[in-house]
Each structure stands twice: as structure tokens, then as C-alpha cells.
């Protein structure tokens, strides 16, 4: 049996759980207390971060790699888009740039160099780009969900939830609809059950 160590609200763990659920790979999800990480998890992944997948002895402790592993097992709706290079570019922009702005916006008190609104504005540039990608379709890169949608979803959700009133007033109506569609989807609600 595959085992994944997870933390329900961690965006990296969320995206890994969504890919595993979509692919139909059987997996036991072990909810981890970040204050008391299980010895079994630390034994296979000493860095101590979630998610960590033990796939029959193969240890994968990066969320994107877990997603790709799951999709290699089963990708019925072509989330990998036949290897389209735009997937990696968009996910990298999210993970390397947008995530920095998100952290500074969400935890602005830890970054007093700038007002919170500056960090929000920097992150909003990425939201605008995503909204533009949704101009003629419901998903970021195709007419159906793909790896990029699922990989970015938890981070956009987090950004939106810092100040829901502000997010609701942004001009990013397509992105708002995209986020709401996913938040109401069976895929997301299933992986978020306590």
C-alpha cells in the first residue's frame, strides 16, 4: 500500500492529494501534526516537510514529483497535456515567484520592509496573468483541467483567502470563477474532508 504523509491545509500537500485522487492510485493518507511529526515519516524523509509519499519503498518528498508520479500511473483526462512546456513554465512562476509574494502578503508582519499592499500588488500581477489565460476557456492551458490548474489552485486559494473582500472586488472575474469551480468540485471537497 502507498502511504502519503500530509497536512490538510498545506498547499503542497493539497495538490499532491488531488493528483493522487484523480489518478485513482490507492493511497493511505496519514495526517501529520507539524508539531509532532511521526518517526516513520522522518525516517524516510529527514527534511521533515509534507507531503511525503512512500510508494512501495520509493520515497518522493516533493509535491510536484508526487503529482507527476501519480499521473504516470494514470492520467485519463491528459492533465500532462502531452508534455506541453507551458505546464512547467507556469508552475515554476507560481512556485518560485508568486509563492514569495504570497508569503509576504499573508505574513506581512514578518516583512516590515514594505506595506502589505505592496506585496499584494506584486502577487496580483500573477493573478492578472492567470485571469488573461482564462479569457477564452474555463481552465488555464486547455479546455479541461491540467497539471497547472491543480498545482496552482491551492496557492491562488491561499492568496484569495488572505482578504476575501479584496479578492471579490478585483477585476479578475474569470479567475474568481475558476477558483470557485474548483473549490466546489468533488475533487477538492473530497481531499479536504477532515
Centroid of chain to Cα 159:
12
d(CA 44, CA 58): 9
Q: What is the pLDDT of residue 22?
A: 98
Contacts of 39 by beta carbon, 8 Å cutoff, 6+ apart: none
Q: What is the pLDDT of residue 194?
A: 85
d(CA 103, CA 114): 13
Q: What is the pLDDT of residue 130?
A: 98
Among candidates 142, 16, 30, 29, which has minimal Cα distance to 71?
16
CA distances from 169 to 49, 61, 125, 176, 180 (A): 35, 37, 15, 10, 15
d(CA 162, CA 127): 14
Among candidates 140, 143, 152, 134, which has minimal Cα distance to 188?
152
Q: What is the pLDDT of residue 46?
A: 95
How many helices and strands, by DSSP H and E, does the chain display? 10, 4
Q: What is the pLDDT of residue 120?
A: 98
Structural domains present in the chain: 2-76 (3.40.30.10), 81-188 (1.20.1050.10)
Helix axes 147-162, 63-73, angle to 10 degrees: 140
The three-point CA angle 7-124-178 to 5° equals 65
Low-confidence ranges of the chain (pLDDT < 70): none
Amino acid at each position: 500500500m502507498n502511504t502519503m504523509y500530509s497536512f490538510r491545509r498545506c498547499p503542497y500537500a493539497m495538490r499532491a492529494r488531488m493528483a493522487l485522487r484523480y489518478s485513482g492510485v490507492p493511497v493511505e493518507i496519514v495526517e501529520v501534526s507539524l508539531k509532532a511529526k511521526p518517526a516513520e515519516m522522518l525516517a524516510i524523509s529527514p527534511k521533515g516537510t509534507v507531503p511525503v509519499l512512500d510508494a512501495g519503498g520509493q520515497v518522493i518528498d516533493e509535491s510536484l514529483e508526487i503529482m507527476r508520479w501519480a499521473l504516470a500511473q494514470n492520467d485519463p483526462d491528459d492533465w500532462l497535456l502531452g508534455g506541453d512546456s507551458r505546464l512547467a513554465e507556469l508552475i515554476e512562476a507560481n512556485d518560485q515567484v508568486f509563492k514569495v509574494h504570497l508569503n509576504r502578503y499573508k505574513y506581512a508582519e514578518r516583512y516590515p520592509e514594505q506595506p502589505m499592499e505592496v506585496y499584494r500588488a506584486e502577487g496580483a500581477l500573477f493573478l492578472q496573468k492567470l485571469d488573461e489565460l482564462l479569457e477564452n476557456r474555463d481552465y488555464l492551458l486547455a479546455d479541461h483541467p491540467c497539471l497547472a490548474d491543480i498545482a496552482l489552485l491551492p496557492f491562488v486559494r491561499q492568496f484569495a483567502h488572505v482578504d476575501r473582500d479584496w479578492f471579490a472586488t478585483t477585476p479578475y472575474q474569470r479567475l474568481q470563477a475558476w477558483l470557485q469551480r474548483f473549490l466546489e468540485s468533488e475533487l477538492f471537497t473530497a481531499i479536504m474532508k477532515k
